Structure 1
């Protein structure tokens, strides 16, 4: 194995492939990054039996071959190299890396013990990379982080014709994002539960190209796999991950079909007010929101403790209402909304509120992204 490649191209690809390496691998070789030289150029791969990453990038290949080295160490080295071409060769049981006057020698791992990467399923369709990244970033906001409830750490991806729905919940909030894509067949219909962290990292990392290919295979009990492919650095990047096994809760019915109070507020003003008022909110206590006569009043703190109150303008239609929310969950939803105005729809104070964005105080809400948030009990 011998090749020459531009430093920035190599460093970026190595960092991307190494990002999902396990911190405590079940076997030592899973901490490795597989380097292969082929007719297609340079191929860098990682795999932990759950998620795989494969980057193909242009390189001047002199000799074909393969080697397995510590992925994190190689990423650290590549990040520190001078801005000059990099040469790598196999030298016995070591890999020699040269960049300008800098030289490194890396111990190799037994490449024959490295597991074969899963094959990419057949392409299901393509989606605009920027749209996909933005949609995923909104959806994963509500995904659970408790590994004791693994089903809730995933994002439910539903394909129906030219539409994709992304749903996530941690039991206290729910996100729902709709987006358009180009399916391989017009009557495409499928559903998958994708690990939220993998989905978020992948969508964010594949924005260099204009399109992301989604490949989904759900055949075989518990053996479902989803793959994502896009272009970057003059090459191709591909990620696959096993789908989560389990029944995602039927959450669509949680969105109410009617409301008694509808409020619209400037998003930036509300975000800043929540941040200020919540400074005095004790752990696990709510920030109170009271909507009445064109004003939203926020309160936090109680009794002999520190207290805060602030009022901002709001457009309020329907009944006056006072409710309270976990301030961080509220901020998560607000920051996920891209529009300058946020619309909050209520049925009653003890029921969930639904948040969506609008271009102006007078425009209809954009329901492509909705964020449902459970209220918190207010301290008397």
Structure 2
């Protein structure tokens, strides 16, 4: 095998496929990136860990077609640090020579014949705007569980109903749901999938700048239990999580007694400051009265802090307490100048949504439900 490729093209391609390589692969070959050079001038790089696959095709000047498997992270580090000149890659016995200007590297070939076959992506279901999808995934994935106690809660529930896509995640302490419009290939499209949150988040960030992302949730030979994403020449699949996701939409309150509208940035800064004195796992208290919300943390002989932020209140006054980081996660996700907090009782879940203007309508396409924390009165 022998080819020449631009340094930026190689670095971008290797970084894309190597991003999900396992730190401790169950078998050594899974630490590799498979490179296939075709005579028609294309270079295909692939990686697979039995859960997530990634593949990218780029243009190259191929002098001799062939296939090699080399350590992915090492090749990514090398390609990112090469000078900005064309890169020559060629096999030399059981090694792979990488030359760029006066830089020369010699990498060991791994046994390509032992590398597993990449899964076949399901049939394409439709496409979605890359920027919109990336934002929606970021808003929802913050609420996914990061532990392994309940693996099913580490996923994002993706539901397709015609042109409506609904993303939902929860770790039992908060719940995030985002509804968006996408472009299905069939107007009566109906799919339900549970995608690992970390994989979905990384994929959305990596593909979002491409303008449009093709989503594959349909079935195909060998594609069951998979979700596929494609943008440009980048393609990735992920194995879906198995199990029945809990029916958590019942957590959304059916009625609202009190609503408060606050400038998002002001509340974020105040909560950050007050939370400095909050010991780990202790809440910050929010007291909503006419015209302001008072934020407090710390009691008794401990360090204490308080701050007040202007707020517009409708309904009875209320005092409620939240985990400060969970509250900040939600405020950071709404993406609007103002935030609306809706309450029923201090012991019941509160709903956070965004709105563009102080006197405007709430944007309920994104809702973040936060469980309150009991506090000593």
Q: 1:152 aligns to what SS in structure 2?
A: helix
Equivalence for 2:240:
243
Which runs of structure 2 are paired with 1:355-366 in the superposition (5 Å)?
355-366=352-363
Gaps of 5+ in 1: none
Task: Compute the displacement of 1:283 (Å).
Answer: 1.0
How far the C-alpha of 1:142 sits from its partner, in A, is 0.3
SS at match of 1:370: strand
- Alpha-carbon distance in 2 for matches of 1:220, 1:7: 37
1:1-380 residue pairs with structure 2 within 5 A? 1-38=1-38, 39=40, 41-217=42-218, 223-231=224-232, 236-380=233-377
In the TM superposition, what is the alpha-carbon distance from 1:217 to its structure 2 partner?
A: 3.7
Query: Following the alignment from structure 1 to structure 2, what is the Cα–Cα distance between the partners of residues 64 and 165?
Result: 44
| Residues 217, 224 of structure 1: 8 Å contact kept | no
Cα distance per residue 1:306-348 (max 9 Å; x no partner): 0001011000000100000000000000000111000000011
Residue 224 to residue 218, structure 1, CA distance change in 2 (3 Å) = farther
The TM-score, its normalising length taken from structure 2, stands at: 0.98
Deviation readout 1:165-216 (Å, 9 max, x if unpaired): 0000000000000111110100000100000000000000012321100001
Judging changes above 3 Å, is the alpha-carbon distance between structure 1 residues 120 and 219 closer, same or farther for their aligned structure 2 residues? closer
Q: Is the CA contact (8 Å cut-off) linking 1:302 and 1:379 kept in structure 2? A: no
Q: Give yes or no for contact 1:30–1:46 (8 Å, CA) kept in 2.
A: yes
What are the Cα deviations for residues 24-61 of structure 1, in whole angstroms up to 9, with x where unaligned?
A: 11000000110111236111110000100001111111
Contact 2:122 2:223 in 1 (8 A): no
CA displacement 1:276-305 (0-9 Å, x = unmatched):
000000111100000011110000001101
CA distance in 1, matches of 2:359, 2:92: 69
Unaligned runs of 5+ in 2: none
**Which shifted more, 32-41 or 89-98?**
32-41
> What SS does the aligned partner of 2:15 have?
helix
- How far off is 1:62 after superposition? 1.4
For 2:301 and 2:349, locate their aligned partners in 1 and report how far apart those are by CA, in whole Å.
Answer: 30
8 Å contact 2:120–2:221 — kept in the other structure?
no
The 1:222/1:189 distance shift into structure 2, 3 A limit, reads same
Q: 1:100-155 deviations in whole A, cap 9, x for unaligned?
A: 11010000110000000001111000001111111111110100001221100000
Instruction: Figure out how many residues of one structure are paired with residues of the other and give that number.
Output: 376
Change (3 A) 1:114 1:242: same
In 2: Cα distance, 1:191 partner to 1:2 partner: 45
SS class of match (1:303): coil
**Structure 2 Cα separation of the partners of residues 82 and 70 of structure 1:** 20
Quote how far apart the aligned CAs of 1:254 are: 1.1
Runs of 4+ in 1 over 2 A off after TM superposition: 217-223
Deviation of 1:257 (Å): 2.1
SS of equivalent to 1:333: helix
Please give the alpha-carbon distance, in whole angstroms, between the structure 2 residues aligned to 1:376 and 1:167.
22
2: CA distance, partners of 1:352 / 1:219: 41
**Bigger mean CA offset, 18-27 vs 212-221:** 212-221
Which whole-Å CA distance do the structure 1 matches of 2:200 and 2:153 have between them?
14
